[in-house]
A = this chain, B = another copy of it.
């Protein structure tokens, strides 16, 4: 069995991940506008599935009359979208290498803003996966209520499935996720068109459009909270600017075209849904979603209704997929700059940053378990990070244009207005939803930034230490003492002592005895065996039945005599045929190993001793 490097595990890996790709196959993984919509835009597009609902849930708490306010709130969010599209077209132009808020912040505003932006985006990628999975499952439950009991399990199952799909690579994901994206766009547009055709837009049966109803007890606070909830509808519009390197050449042109396409589609879909929901008098319900209620109101509970549930689930999965593409990309950028662990730089067999994918998959699953797969409970955490990113990007770009004296005035004004608007959203969201969960983000975000600084300091210090002070420092010989702990005379001690003799002139065999009798026995057996006379026998005494402690103390004494860095300890390691057999051997060797290499700075050699495997 020794020469096969993989076996069943390898076959399973192939099945799940596909064949390994050579480094030069990298270029083939690129996309155009059509391919970019399902890969980079669903985060934004799918927000239609919960954006309107997030507004209505908050307003409904102040009475059904308050629902009227969803009209101006949606309009303001639509205005925000226009500004963001203008800003992000500038970002793509200025930063074709991708990286979005982090890269812009880094080049224009310095490390702290860029790290704040980076942390915000990493948090939001994770939240987007959690919210999308939760909203997707909610859509299906609206159609099939008997699945309610399995909500958390379904959410986590979906995330794990997506993790596997993304470990296979982005191009295949893009192909698989095209249909639900386009179907969702078409179905929502059909609903909006039908609502217009039926003349139900804006025209709520009970309220006139103007003037605004004065709702008793409806505080500004509720309206602002509804607005900040609704602002989640725009999460994800930055994804295109982060993913510019994924486009086919000329990538900037294609990315900017995608940005405009997204703006138009998202605007029509979100505003259309909000206005129609008001027109049909829809009140948010616990068991259904606003989108499904709208579909039922327009077309009844027929094929359209059920198909929409599954298509919504589909695009929300694709939305989560946006984050599976964005998180590893950003993490690798930050790792390249030394702010995050280097393991995010490793590309695997399938040319994807597999560690990033695994980390975000695990984090999103954890969030779903903690928040029990509830969209409403996750929403207060969401959006804050995205809008921090929006703000930093726009401020950075304005600064860049000012410094370089580039850029046209109308764009500049739009961006300044945009930055002000998005910063306001952050403040409003923090203020109105702090106790509902926003405090978590307020805590985690600075902690992440501090961690980034610690990581970078560690790497800088390490590089300093690893650098050879002068080229003359070359490998040199020095005498080594080889120590072999053994419990009795057997084939393993014979094998370990053979290796020790082979690598050193100075070999010590160490035994730990718990009593006088044991000590006498070992010395007698040793004398009878009479191995190579150059091997010294040392018997240590241990009243507390510990083997590790006396050996550690002995190594300390030995290092004092011969000098640090001149001791090598050989520890026999049983190699057995089946995994469970490892449980049958005392783990003394492993404990000794870990203690010695990490605490005593001695070289520890593991000497394999293969048992037949029965």
Residues of A within 8 A of B (CB): 2-3, 5, 20-23, 341-343, 346-349, 455, 457-459, 461-462, 465-468, 471, 473-480, 489-492, 494, 497-504, 514-515, 528-532, 535, 543-546, 549, 552, 556, 568, 570, 573-576, 581, 583-587, 593, 595, 597-608, 610-612, 614
> How far does the Cβ of A428 sit from chain B's closest Cβ, in whole Å?
35
Q: How far is the CA of A347 from the CA of B455 in the complex (A)?
A: 42
Give the docked Cα–Cα distance between A313 and B22 (Å).
Answer: 65
**B614 & A608 in contact (Cβ 8 Å cutoff):** no
Q: Return chain B residues, CB-CB under 8 Å to A480.
A: 499, 502-503
Contact A603 B499 (CB under 8 A): yes
- B471 close to A342 (CB less than 8 A): no
Partner of A5, one of B2, B458, B461, B552: B552
- The closest CB in chain B to the CB of A20 belongs to B544
Cβ-defined contact, B471 with A529, below 8 A: yes
Kindly state the separation between the CA atoms of A559 and B138 in the bound complex, as whole angstroms.
59
Q: Which residue of B lies closest to A543 (CB)?
A: B22
CA distance A490 to B471 in the complex (A): 10
Q: List 18 A-B contacts (CB under 8 A).
A: A2-B601, A5-B549, A343-B587, A457-B614, A458-B584, A465-B491, A467-B490, A468-B490, A468-B491, A471-B529, A473-B494, A476-B501, A476-B532, A478-B498, A499-B568, A601-B608, A605-B605, A605-B606
Chain B residues with CB below 8 A from A599, complex form: 2, 5
Task: Name the contact of A584 in the complex, choosing from B459, B465, B608 (C-beta under 8 A).
Answer: B459
A600 and B607 CA atoms in complex are apart in Å by 11
The one of B5, B346, B501 that contacts A586, using a Cβ cutoff of 8 Å: B346
Bound: A545/B576 CA distance, A: 30
Given contacts A349-B545, A474-B494, A575-B601, 5 further A-B contacts (CB under 8 A): A22-B543, A23-B544, A477-B498, A477-B502, A478-B498
Q: Determine the chain B residues whose CB is within 8 A of the CB of A465 once the complex forms.
A: 491, 611-612
Q: How far is the CA of A474 from the CA of B495 in the complex (A)?
A: 9
| Contact in complex: A586, B474 (CB < 8 Å) | no
Task: Quote the shortest CB–CB distance from A544 to chain B (angstroms).
Answer: 5
Q: Is the CB of B475 within 8 A of A535?
A: yes
Per the bound structure, the CA–CA distance linking A500 and B474 in Å amounts to: 12
Q: Contact check: which of B468, B489, B570, B600 meets A2 at CB < 8 Å? A: B600
Is B529 a contact partner of A501 (Cβ separation < 8 A)? no
Complex: A380 Cα to B277 Cα, angstroms: 55
- Contacting residue for A475 out of B532, B574, B597, CB 8 A: B532
Q: Name which residue of chain B comes closest to A471, CB basis.
A: B529
What's the nearest-Cβ distance from chain B to residue A2, in Å? 6
Complex CA gap A531/B476 in Å reads 9
B475 touches A497 (CB 8 A): yes
Cβ–Cβ contact A604 & B601, under 8 A: no
B584, A341: Cβ atoms closer than 8 Å: yes
Q: Which of B504, B530, B544 contacts A503 (CB 8 A)?
A: B504
Query: Cα distance A491–B476 when bound, in Å?
Result: 12
**Bound Cα distance from A610 to B599, whole angstroms:** 10
Interchain residue pairs A-B with the least CB separation, the first 3:
A475-B497, A503-B503, A605-B605
Does A597 lie within 8 Å of B575, measured CB to CB? yes
Question: Contacts of A608 on B, CB cut-off 8 Å?
Answer: 597-598, 601-603
The reply to whether A501 and B514 form a contact with Cβ atoms under 8 Å apart is no
B604–A606 contact, CB under 8 A? yes
Q: Judge whether B5 and A584 touch: CB under 8 Å.
A: no
A603, B600: Cβ atoms closer than 8 Å? no
A341 neighbours in B (Cβ, 8 Å): 583-584
User: For residue A607, which residues in chain B have a CB less than 8 angstroms away from its CB?
Assistant: 603
- In the bound complex, what is the Cα–Cα distance between A478 and B498 (angstroms)? 8
In the complex the two chains form, is B471's CB within 8 Å of A528's CB? Answer: yes
Q: How far is the CA of A612 from the CA of B599 in the complex (A)?
A: 14
A134 to chain B, nearest CB (A): 25
Given the complex, which residues of B lie within 8 Å of A583, measured CB to CB? 341, 343
A208 CB to nearest chain B CB (Å): 49
> Given the known A-B contacts A341-B584, A461-B611, A467-B491, are A474 and B531 also in contact in the complex, defined by CB atoms under 8 Å?
yes
Cα distance A478–B514 when bound, in Å? 34
Residues of B within 8 A of A575 (CB): 597-598, 601
Q: How far is the CA of A489 from the CA of B468 in the complex (A)?
A: 8
Q: A22-B543, A474-B531 are in contact. Are A597 and B606 (CB under 8 A)?
A: yes
Query: How long is the Cα–Cα vector from A605 to B606 in the complex, in angstroms?
Result: 6
Measured between beta carbons, the chain B residues less than 8 angstroms from A3 are 556
A3 to B503 alpha-carbon distance, docked (Å): 27
Chain B residues with CB under 8 Å of A595's CB are 5
Cβ of A473: which chain B residues have Cβ within 8 Å of it? 491, 494
CA gap between A535 and B477 in the complex, in Å: 12
Residues from chain B with a CB closer than 8 A to the CB of A342 are 584-586
When distances are taken between beta carbons in the complex, the residues of chain B under 8 Å from A549 are 5
CA distance A476 to B570 in the complex (A): 15
Which B residues are CB-close (under 8 A) to A475? 494, 497-498, 500-501, 531-532, 535
Residue on B nearest A610 in the bound complex, by CB: B601
A469 to B, closest residue via Cβ: B491
Are B491 and A466 in contact (CB-based, < 8 A)? yes
Report the separation of the CA atoms of residues A459 and B581 in the bound assembly, to the nearest whole angstrom.
Answer: 9
Q: Taking the nearest CB of chain B, how far is it from the CB of A177, in angstroms? A: 26
